Chain A
Amino acid sequence: MRTIYMQALAIVMLVSCLSCENNDDNAPAEAVKNIDGSWKVVNVTRNDLDITGAFDFTRFRVNFSEDGTYSFENYLPFIVKEEGDWALDDPQYPFKIIFREGSSAETLAADLTYPVVQGNRQIQLTFSPGCQLNRYKYVLERINE
């Protein structure tokens, strides 16, 4: 009987301690996502079909600058064609990256995820450069970290 009491006491203490750990005031703030730099394509899918090896994507670069501008090298179909400005919809928890070409007032948004895969930070952009029925996902890795 004593053993059961001791086990129950241990569980209550454990639960209590776990509860005490939840102190939101001291929780570290989520870091602002930094995508500055030059990015290369490491994977491309078209309508969920991998076409990375079917086309030469190796020379394409998209450069996100700290001043909020972007540019391309060896352009390939992308959500925008001209150089311009970029911004994240939320600096800490971004789900979209927003582009504005040149002096245009119109903005275009690509779905964004920001995973770390095998130790490498990636950004994954999903958009339709041509027909809206076709969805492309570009997986990019930074080349000048």
Chain B
Amino acid sequence: MKLTTQKMTANTILSRKWLVGNIIVIVLGIFAITCVYINEVEYPPSVDAGQIAEFKVTVFLDVAEARNDARLVVAFLAPKSWNAAQNMTASYTDTEESGVQTMSIIPAGTSPSQAPGQSWSAAIRGRVGIGENVLDDMEWITFWTDKTYSVSNGQDIYVYVTIKAKTGPESLSFKPTIFVNETADGMTTSQDFYKVYKGDCFAVINGTGDGIDFCELHFNSVQPLTATKDDFITIGFQGDVDSNDLVDAGVDKIFLSSTAYVRGSGRQIEVRDNAAAQQMTKQFQYGNSYAITLWPASYYNLAEGEELEKIEYSFTNEDGSIEVVDEAVGADFVYTFKCQ
């Protein structure tokens, strides 16, 4: 009996050692990994429309544990109108090798290791959103290094990434936002292993249109920025941006008052009778943010074959006696239908 007890004790000790040993291995595998930093991001304050904008990102990798076959991931938040998947490239140099190295857009259907079932862009959007921009008409363009790397414990690696983007044709401004991670710890929740950079406003100038401002809120907003009559467009009124007649008068039923212009024929379609279908929905319990989402082809009752050139719009109370227009020009706001 005594002998049996001793054997059991020995086995128990052996099991504990085995268990502790394996737990240590697992914990090291999970936690002792590469820390990622964005040391610096450089870009000009503005660039002409249609020209190349260059963003230089210095990434520092503090390797705390060897990793095998990992790729560096760098994502850039761009206005959708740039069509950046076709008009953006990324490359890099680093302190471990010579020459310029290439990066590619992460193939569709590739998921981060810690966000199975999601694309990289969707996972980043879920975590970072659109940074500090105020219009949600942006997309994450995700690059990874074409090479995979095996790194050793204690390595300090600097990676100098250059992102080049051909800007779209229209004038706009937005806040560049950059996300850096690596595939071995893809979308892990610990901020040691990914970093987000939120930059100051960058402007595309001398382009078409009046200029779309992603950086600051205005009374009006429209999403998406590119649309046809068969998109759903959302028109917003942000009444808390500044003092205005509607909010100052305590109006809590806000209507969209608009005129649509048919391309080619010049036919004008007025929808300004403040019917129920034109009432905007309050977005939050508190504050004065309202929005309406409409299908233009139906909202303006377009005939078959007609396309819209633009709509002119304002925000009014129910009887139309109080109105908020574009105070910069003293006239209606304008939304131009375009699809690049």
Residues of A at under 8 Å CB distance from B?
3, 44, 46-49, 51, 54-55, 76-77, 129-134, 136
Structural contact, B83 and A130, CB atoms closer than 8 A: no
Structural contact, B224 and A46, CB atoms closer than 8 A: yes
Structural contact, A54 and B340, CB atoms closer than 8 A: no
A-B residue pairs in contact (CB < 8 Å), sample of 25: A3-B11, A46-B224, A46-B232, A47-B224, A49-B223, A54-B293, A55-B293, A55-B295, A76-B295, A77-B295, A129-B230, A130-B230, A130-B231, A130-B339, A131-B224, A131-B226, A131-B227, A131-B228, A131-B339, A133-B80, A133-B81, A133-B339, A134-B224, A134-B231, A136-B232
| Alpha-carbon gap, A13 to B125, bound state (A) | 47
Interfacial chain B residues near A46, Cβ < 8 Å: 223-224, 231-232
Q: Provide the main secondary structure of the chain A interface.
A: loop
Structural contact, B80 and A129, CB atoms closer than 8 A: no
Shortest distance in angstroms between A91's beta carbon and chain B's nearest beta carbon?
21
B224 nearest in chain A by CB position: A134
Closest A-B pairs by Cβ, 3 of them:
A130-B231, A131-B339, A54-B293
Interfacial chain A residues near B223, Cβ < 8 Å: 46, 49
Q: Which of B80, B122, B228, B294 contacts A130 (CB 8 A)?
A: B228
A128 nearest in chain B by CB position: B231
Interfacial chain A residues near B332, Cβ < 8 Å: none
Residue B234 at the A interface, CB < 8 A?
A: yes
Within 8 A of A (CB), among B228-252: 228-232, 234
Residue B291 at the A interface, CB < 8 A?
A: yes
Within 8 A of A (CB), among B41-84: 80-81, 83
B229 nearest in chain A by CB position: A130
Interfacial chain A residues near B340, Cβ < 8 Å: 133
Within 8 A of A (CB), among B202-239: 223-224, 226-232, 234
A76 nearest in chain B by CB position: B295
Structural contact, B136 and A49, CB atoms closer than 8 A: yes
Residues of B at under 8 Å CB distance from A?
11, 80-81, 83, 122, 125, 136-137, 139, 223-224, 226-232, 234, 281, 291, 293-295, 297, 339-340
| Alpha-carbon gap, A129 to B339, bound state (A) | 12
Structural contact, B125 and A48, CB atoms closer than 8 A: yes
Structural contact, B281 and A54, CB atoms closer than 8 A: yes
Shortest distance in angstroms between A41's beta carbon and chain B's nearest beta carbon?
12
B10 nearest in chain A by CB position: A3
Shortest distance in angstroms between A61's beta carbon and chain B's nearest beta carbon?
16
Interfacial chain A residues near B232, Cβ < 8 Å: 44, 46, 51, 54-55, 77, 136
A4 nearest in chain B by CB position: B14
Interfacial chain A residues near B294, Cβ < 8 Å: 55
Shortest distance in angstroms between B228's beta carbon and chain A's nearest beta carbon?
4
| Alpha-carbon gap, A129 to B232, bound state (A) | 9
Knowing that A77-B232, A77-B295, A129-B231 touch, tell me 14 more A-B residue pairs with CB under 8 angstroms: A44-B232, A46-B232, A48-B125, A51-B232, A54-B293, A55-B293, A77-B231, A77-B297, A131-B224, A131-B228, A133-B80, A133-B81, A133-B339, A134-B226
A54-B281, A54-B291 given; A133·B11 CB < 8 A: no
A48-B125, A54-B291 given; A132·B339 CB < 8 A: yes
Most chain B CB within a 10 A radius of its CB, from A46, A47, A51, A130? A130
| Alpha-carbon gap, A130 to B25, bound state (A) | 53
| Alpha-carbon gap, A76 to B297, bound state (A) | 10
Interfacial chain B residues near A44, Cβ < 8 Å: 232
| Alpha-carbon gap, A134 to B231, bound state (A) | 8
Most chain B CB within a 10 A radius of its CB, from A55, A76, A77? A77
| Alpha-carbon gap, A87 to B247, bound state (A) | 53
